[in-house]
Amino acid sequence: MAFTLRCIDVSDWKTFGLLQLVIDTIPDPIFVKDRQHRWIACNPGFCGLIGQRYEDLIGRSDPDYWPKAQAEVFWSYDDVVFNSGEPSENEESATGSDGVARTIWTRKFPMKNEQGQVVGLCGLITDITDLKQRHMEAERIAAENREQRAIIQMQAELLDRVAMPVIQVWEGILLIPLVGEMSDRRASQALESLLAAIGQRRAEFVILDITGVPVIDSAVARHLVRAVQAAELLGCRSVMVGIGPEIARTLVGLGIDFGRITTQGTLQSGLAYAMSRLSGQRAAAR
């Protein structure tokens, strides 16, 4: 709903004086203009903003005190109110008498006579310079945080790939050393890398070395089982090495079925087992 102010007859000094007293009590800058963009009333807050005395402002207009480009913007927004008869509010830039550029939020309301014709406007200004700067600073910090999170994510993914390489240690034998805590994401990446390597190198054995995994929970154990099952579907058998006493007790307590997984105590024994079986299979095939 549009808010309008009725035109005040300035010849009625008693009424005008009361109006002036009211707007003088408001700290934010307030001004009143006629249709020629001339100030016909203002309050001390407006005088302070421009840095001029009241008597020097009345009857004058924006180009007398503001930079030309800013005055043209102010007048263009005046014309929107004059022509539409509706309130308008805009964010604007204003350079005060001290030469400091401020960001202001200006609300302008049409003043109408008894016939409903727009004869002027009343403007209220709020200095939002500090608020704008805080908002921009918050946006800058948020953008930096997003960028940092993206960098951290990329670094984590790179470290995951480096920390979980798939190495061909012998013809037909792959090794995947698992190091550090295993999250669902890392386990999925390891499985993806493993399956791709099996397909590319036509591996017949894969050695899963969990020596560097400090903790194995039920989720990690299930990922290991799925890795073994997926490898078998590609015709590749699995050997798990590096199971210490603590992890062995954990696996037993979790009740995970490792019946289909061959285990060896060390990487050396695991590699020897895989090479022996591989040689036997190839000899039998010949």
User: Model confidence at 261, in pLDDT bands (50, 70, 90)?
Assistant: confident
Q: Residue 159: its pLDDT value, please?
A: 59
Q: Report residue 242: phi and psi, to 5°.
A: 85, 20
Q: Residue 124: its pLDDT value, please?
A: 95
pLDDT of 8 strictly over 70: no
User: Model confidence at 256, in pLDDT bands (50, 70, 90)?
Assistant: low
pLDDT of 111 strictly over 60: yes
- 205's CB contacts (< 8 A; 6+ apart) are 172, 173, 174, 236, 237, 238, 239, 274, 277, 278
Which of 12-16, 20-24, 166-170, 275-279 is the least confident region?
12-16
CA–CA distance, 84 with 104 (Å, rounded to integer): 22
- Give percent helix, percent strand, percent coil of the chain, each to the nearest 5: 50, 25, 25
Q: Residue 259: its pLDDT value, please?
A: 64
Interval 142-158: pLDDT, tens: 888 888 888 877 776 66
Please report, rounded to a whole number, the percentage of residues in the chain having pLDDT higher than 70: 87
pLDDT of 193 strictly over 50: yes
pLDDT of 1 strictly over 70: no
Q: Which residues of 196-209 are buried (b: 16+ CB within 10 A; e: fewer)?
A: ebbeeeebbbbbbb
Interval 164-191: pLDDT, tens: 688 899 889 999 988 777 777 777 778 8
Interval 214-250: pLDDT, tens: 877 777 778 888 888 888 899 999 999 988 887 777 7
User: Model confidence at 31, in pLDDT bands (50, 70, 90)?
Assistant: very high
Which of 52-61, 106-115, 166-175, 251-260 is the least confident region?
251-260
Q: Residue 4: its pLDDT value, please?
A: 40
Say which residue, 222 or 89, is predicted with more confidence. 89
